Amino acid sequence: MIIGLTGPNASGKGEAGLYIKSKGYGYISLSDILREEAARSNIEPIRENLIRLGNDLRRKKGASFLALLAIEKLDDSKNYIIDSIRNPAEVEELKELKKFILIGVDAATETRFKRSLRRKRPGDAETLEEFIKKEEKENKTGAENQQLKKCLSMADTIIINDSTIEKLKGKIDEAIKENNPQKA
């Protein structure tokens, strides 16, 4: 089984990914692939730079380029979690895999903003207004751009992460059970 994760900034994708990884799944992050490319290119790996780099790579090498790099890392005999899916072409490419399901993780904007303040990543917004403006940029249409809302709409299941980590884990377990392509 291959589980993809998508959703907006600070929705809980990282927590979801870590939980699924703890269940024995291999972990691949499209953001980590971008960070590796940023390191090779001497680009500071802050959010804005990674977004720009991802958009540039999609424009030059195709909108599904990051998904193709992730697919190259897969071993058919193992289960995987692919985190940080941000472009519809990535979703479409991954959905070609027989054992793939896409789980969207979401939460209210204010909740996500508070989470981003707590985690204090470089480049994260410092005000709610700035957070909202950054999200608007991340949802521009265009084949090479991030389109988080569109990716979320393509999910097989959407989990609203509005409570505790334990409840998030329960929702993840339920989503995996309900969408397991190996049952069919």
Which CATH number belongs to the domain containing residue 36 in this structure?
3.40.50.300
Distance of CA 125 to the CA centre of its chain: 19
In a domain, 184, yes or no: no
Mean pLDDT computed over 12-22? 94
Count: domains in the chain: 1
| Polymer length in residues for the chain | 184
Domain hosting residue 23, numbered range: 2-176
In a domain, 77, yes or no: yes
In a domain, 152, yes or no: yes
CA-based R_g, the chain, Å: 16
Residue 137 CA neighbour count, 13 Å, CB half: 13
In a domain, 181, yes or no: no
In a domain, 182, yes or no: no
Rounded Cα distance between 49 and 34, Å, is 10
In a domain, 30, yes or no: yes
> Is this model's pTM higher than 0.85 or not?
yes
In a domain, 62, yes or no: yes
Over 90: is that where the pLDDT of 139 sits? Answer: no
Mean pLDDT computed over 132-142? 77
In a domain, 11, yes or no: yes
pLDDT tens digits for range 18-72:
999 999 999 999 989 999 999 999 999 887 888 889 889 988 999 899 999 999 9
